[in-house]
Structure formats: structure tokens, C-alpha cells
Amino acid sequence: DKLGVEINVEPKRVSGKRDKKIYGHFIEHFHRQIYNGIYDPESPLSDEDGFRTDIIEAVKKIDIPILRWPGGCFVSSYHWKDAVGKERKPLFDKAWRVEDPNTFGTDEYIKMCEKIGCEPYICTNAGTGTAEEMSDWVEYCNLENEGQYAKWRIENGNPEPFKVKYWSIGNENYGHWEIGAKSADEWGKLVREAAKMIKHVDPETELSAAALSDLEWNVNLLKNCGEFLDWISIHEYWDMVPEENDLATYEQCMAFTKDVGHAVDEVRGLLKAMKLDKKIKIAFDEWNLRSWHHPNVHTIEQGVDKKDYLDPRDKNDDNSQYTMADAVFTACFLNAMNRNCDIVGMANFAPVLNTRGCIYSYDQGIVLRTTYHVFDLYVNYLGDTIIDLWTDQLPQMTINDKQGNEVEVESLDLLATKWSDKEGIAIAAVNKAPQEGQLLDLSIAADYKEAKLFYISGENKDSYNDVDKNEVKIIEEDLGEFAGNLKLELKPHSVNIIQLK
Ligand code: AHR
């Protein structure tokens, strides 16, 4: 049962260079992402600053370029001033309805970014917060020594400014679930004032604010604030039911890949129509295949307290849920962001750790979930420049989507790249088919000394990693010399990088 396709690549025809920030991540004060996650001063695995060294090492390996913090919904009732300096005031987190000790604040976050070697990206409180509180935060982080906030940072042991370039005004403030949600009109006005004040404090900052696929909201935002914004932020979680490892669930996930870039297309169209597409880029600053369970906390949605309906088991910690379906979906999403690199300058996998993250931590160590290896492949094995790849026809598969409707989906997702700083090309080839291999017949008018394949597939589509179970990992295969043509077979449900050097 093998599908087959002939593909051609022309390395001289370049369609764009991706911004590395599309491989960014997100971390929120939620579940075990910060406390009892990456920040765990009590753990014997932590360093002198309280950071788990095994997690930091894993994150460094996927070279994450940027890490969004502190929320998410969490930020909409967060007051940063309570979480710096010696006096930390505990906070009742109104989004997730738990106490936060506030022992992890701005200084700890910056230290964490330094250890990881990534850019910070701070999301401000536009729920219960004010434009002034946001710009005070920028003063604290970015001014040399002028004013009480910069002086406060120095007093707190940080004489040098943190130089935080990327700031997001608010989170999903359009949503009824968000504390301090806003109307389209209120949003336009608040973002305008906040943006103005932040840019007055530090003109070097790059600002983003929340959009969604609602025309009125977006038009209002762009009309009021287009001149101040550098980014427009969008989020999407592709929710699946039921959460079982069976063919139906795998097919649901693959059906989501059919139009994975629809939100980008919609926002791109609007930016173009408003003549802002050369000024404003898209930050897809929360995305993941599945939305999150709300563990150990309960939520109130549309007036209904969901505490009674919570599964006592924390399903986020059930590693068997993060299978090759997640990996294949993740690769398709990253391919789409690479293809849209003219307008998408940042994307943040949500979250990096625990909950639905690509890393799972427990007291004695970590598990690298399937999605972690996709980031490893894309960051460390793929090129940064997108080149032309064409084929007569991509193989299709007929599957059932979430609603149980039959849909036709391409079973192969291909992206060709080269490097701007070294010779060679690298092709990402994602085989979405649950059972069938794919025969690739690749032609390029060039010779290369060596061809190599790096891939993940696991034993079957439901393969996952867990404590003491390392079923999914990157496998390397030598394919010999490349003289214009190469035939190879991709495994079912696999993410592959073919390198020619
Ligand atoms: O469930 C986590 C939440 O998902 C994030 O806080 C929010 O931004 C998104 O709706």
C-alpha cells in the first residue's frame, strides 16, 4: 500500500526567508508550566536560581528564539508591580482561580530567557490593567535609570536595562472568557493609548495587539492603532473529540491540516486591503493542536461553574495523548508558517512545557513529547530560505473530520528550503497517511555529495513518549550520493527532513 509522487525542486527560485521567530514558544502561569515546572527552587534538579537545568537544556536544544509570557488569560488580572523586589504579594489568579505566590516575576522571567538564550516577549494586562501600568512596565524593563521604575529595577539588582523589544498589548480581550473583555470600540481606544505611551517610553519597542477573524474587531483595531502597531496577534487551537487514540481521532487531526493557514489568509487580506501589509506582521502567538484541560482549577464559562464537571485526573499529564498525530499536525502547521513567511514573522507553540507542551516534566526528569522532535527537526535540520518545489499532483486521502463528514485531504505536505549561510538544500516531507508509506521520486538539476534522511515516525500512529518510554525519536539514514535524482520511501505518519549537501 504505497502512494507515490514525483517532485522537482529549483534551488535558484527563492520564495522568501522565514523569520526564526516562527519557531517561538509560550509559557503561562498555568498548570505546572512555571511553578513546579521550569521554576522549582526546591528541586534537586534546579540550579542556584531555582530553574530546572534539565528543562533549560532541552529548551536550548530546540534553540527557541522567543518565549511569550506571562499569559494567556492569566495576564488579564496580573499586576507586575506585585511580583518584583523583595516584597512579593501573593495574587489570587482570577483566570484560573488559584493562588499565585508571585515569587516568579519579571526579573526571574528575564533571567530565564537569558539562560535559554531567547528573546523575551511580554504580554501586558489589558483586562484590569491600564495603559499607564503597561508603560510603567516598559520603563522598568527598558529605561537606563530615569524615573522610579528604572531605578527600582537597579535597586533589585539589575543595573542594565532588560531591552525587551517585543510587547503584546493584552491577550484575547475579545473573548467572553477573558477577565476585563472589551468591545471592538473600547479595544481600539485602549490599544491606541497604550501603544502611544509605550512608544513614548521606548520607541524601539515592537508592539502587537489581539485580533481574530472578526472583521469589525480587526478593522476597528487597525483603523485606530495601525500607525502604532508592528504586529497583529492571532491564536488558534484545533480542538478534537473524543480524546482517544483511535483512527477516528487521528483522522480528525489530519482533517484540521486541510486549511491550517485560514486565519493567516484572512488577516493578510485585511492588512492588504488597509495598505498595512508592509508595516504590520502576523504574530501567531498561541497555537496548538488541542486546547487545554483546566487542571486543578475550575473555570466559569457563560455563567456555568465547571468545577463539578472536572475529571479528577489531570489529563494534561497523560503522555499517551501526545502521539504522532500531534507531531504530524505540528509539522504541517510549521510548513504553512514557512510558506507564509512574507507576512508571518512569529508563532508561539502553546505552551512549551507541561499542559499540552512539547516537554513534560516530573520530579525526577522530563519527557520529550513527539512535538518536541518536530521542533528539533525544523530548527536544527531545515534551511531558512524557502525555494521552489513543484509536483503534478499531490496524493489525496479521504478521511472523516470532527463533524463526521468525509473530506479529501492531501496526504503529503512538502516544503523545500536552502540555507543562507551554507551550501545544500533540505526538504520537509510530512506523510499524513495513517497506514501507507509514500514513494518520493525527487529530481533536482544538481549533484550533491551526500543525501541524508532524518525522520520521526514511531511504531504506529499512536506512538508516544513517556517516563521510561522513548518510542519516538529522530532516526538518521544515509542515502548515499545524489546525482540529479533520488527515490525514497517515507514511512506512514512520519515527519521527514531530506538533506542534500
Ligand atoms: O487554556 C489556556 C488559554 O488558552 C490561554 O490562557 C488563552 O490565551 C487561550 O484561550
* Residue 491 pLDDT greater than 60, yes or no: yes
Residues of the chain with CATH 2.60.40.1180: 2-12+384-500
The CA distance from 496 to 416, in Å, is: 12
Contact yes or no for 336/385 (Cβ under 8 A) = no
Nearest CA to ligand 1 atom 3: 72
What is the 70 CA–ligand 1 centroid distance (Å)?
Answer: 11
C-alpha cell at 294: 483546566
Once rounded to an integer, what is the mean pLDDT over residues 331-358? 97
Residue 316: per-residue pLDDT: 82
pLDDT at 239: 85
Residue minimizing CA distance to atom 8 of ligand 1? 72
ipTM confidence: 0.98
- Would you state the pLDDT for residue 292? 63
The answer, yes or no, to whether any atom of ligand 1 lies below 6 A from the CB of 162, is: no
Q: CA distances (Å), 311 to each of 293, 307, 417, in order?
A: 9, 9, 44
Per-residue pLDDT, 438: 94
Query: Can you spell out the DSSP letters for 419-441?
Result: -SSSS-EEEEEEE--SS-EEEEE
142-156, 308-322, 426-440: lowest mean pLDDT where? Answer: 308-322
- Does ligand 1 have an atom closer than 6 angstroms to the CB of 286? yes
Looking at the domain covering 2-12+384-500, what would its CATH class be?
mainly beta
CA of 72 to the centre of ligand 1 (A): 5
> What is Dmax (Cα atoms) for the chain?
69
Nearest-atom index, ligand 1, CA of 73? 6
Q: What is the mean pLDDT of residues 452-476?
A: 97
Please check the confidence at residue 309 and state whether its pLDDT lies above 50: no
d(CA 273, CA 166): 25
Residue 139 is classified by DSSP as H
389 lines ligand 1 (CB under 6 A): no
Task: Confirm if 140 and 152 have CB atoms less than 8 A apart.
Answer: yes
Average pLDDT of the segment spanning 25-46: 96
Residue ranges of the chain assigned to CATH 3.20.20.80: 19-380
Q: What sign has the CA pseudo-torsion 216, 69, 315, 289?
A: positive
Q: Is the CB of residue 72 below 6 angstroms from any atom belonging to ligand 1?
A: yes
Mean per-residue pLDDT of the chain: 94
CATH of domain 19-380: 3.20.20.80
Which stretch of 47-51, 167-171, 242-246, 434-438 has the lowest confidence by average pLDDT?
A: 242-246
Q: Which of 94, 171, 293 to mutate to test the pocket of ligand 1 (most atoms within 8 A of CB)?
A: 171
Ligand 1 atom closest to 71 (CA): 6
Instruction: Report which protein residue has its CA nearest ligand 1's atom 7.
Output: 72
Q: Which residue pairs from 465-468 have beta carbons closer than 8 angstroms and sit at least 24 positions apart in sequence?
A: 465/319, 465/322, 465/367, 465/368, 465/369, 465/370, 466/319, 466/320, 466/367, 467/319, 467/362, 467/365, 467/367
Mind listing the pLDDT tens digit for each residue in 144-192? 999 999 999 999 999 999 999 999 999 999 998 899 999 999 999 999 9
Q: Does a cis peptide bond (omega within 30 degrees of 0) precede residue 434?
A: no
Looking at the CA of residue 175, tell me the nearest atom of ligand 1.
Answer: 10
Helix (H) or strand (E) holding 257: none
Cell of 424: 545544500
The pLDDT, as a whole number, for residue 308 is 46
Mean pLDDT of 46-52: 98
User: How many CB atoms are closer than 10 A to CB 355?
Assistant: 25
Share above pLDDT 90 across residues of the chain, in percent, rounded to a whole number: 88
Give the alpha-carbon dihedral of 256, 378, 384, 63, to 10 degrees. 120
What is residue 468's predicted lDDT score, i.e. its pLDDT?
94
Q: Count CA atoms within 13 Å of residue 361 on its CB side.
A: 27
